[in-house]
Amino acid sequence: MITRALDARVRAGWVTGDEVYGGDPGLRAGLEDRQVCYVLAVAKSHPAATAAGAVRADVLARKLPPRAWQRLSAGPGAKGHRWYDWAWVSIDPGLPGHRHLLIRRHRRTRELACYRCYAPRPVSLAVLVRAAGRRWTVEEDFQASKGLAALDEHQVRRWASWYRWVTLAMLALAFLTIVALAERAQPPPPGMIPLTRNEIARLLPAPPARPAGTCHYRRQAAKDP
């Protein structure tokens, strides 16, 4: 999907993903060949190649001195900015581009999260942190698409029907997002706040109800002698 999007010249500053994607060397190599920046989560046990050899990500994090950590926001959340302690270490010496292991530490629990990062040109720690934080926005949009556009209500029996369903659901969410942004671009009436995507979806007229499986039953009836 990423390859098709890039081939279609969809502009993407960064690619982010969870540990499933961060642990895929083929995906990382494909993005590096295209010189596409990425911040991909990896397991704490992930081996990171350093000048001293391969070291587990969590072991490397524990060896960092206090001055290596910086308090930065990963972006605004539902309760304000998401503040964490962050550190980064250069990895994969000798390979082209700029590669880092990015480490996030929870301020209270001290729990760690790790990311493999690549950029063809030098970038700052703050830029990598912002890119890592964008993943939460994507996950929030997926959650919103389930509640507002029925993304998760397909039975997934055939590839073609699932693909069409997902495409239409994403299109519906994009429509709600654009309308909500247009609402915020102009001042609301006195004493009111701009409409959100949820409120806009509730104001839209509902489609007429149709019994589930109607087309399936009709097709089965047509086959019966």
Place of tokens 């654009």: 178
pLDDT of res. 184: 85
The model carries a pTM of: 0.75
H-run or E-run covering 56: strand 53-56
Looking from the CA of 180 toward its CB, the CA atoms found within 13 Å total 15
pLDDT digit string, tens, across residues 118-154: 999 999 999 999 999 988 888 888 888 998 999 998 8
Of 72, 78, 76, 84, which Cα lies nearest the Cα of 110?
Answer: 84
Contact yes or no for 69/85 (Cβ under 8 A) = yes
pLDDT of res. 1: 84
pLDDT of res. 194: 84
pLDDT digit string, tens, across residues 107-119: 999 999 999 999 9
**For range 164-172, the mean pLDDT:** 93
pLDDT digit string, tens, across residues 150-160: 999 888 889 99
pLDDT digit string, tens, across residues 41-84: 999 999 999 988 899 999 999 999 999 999 999 887 767 788 99
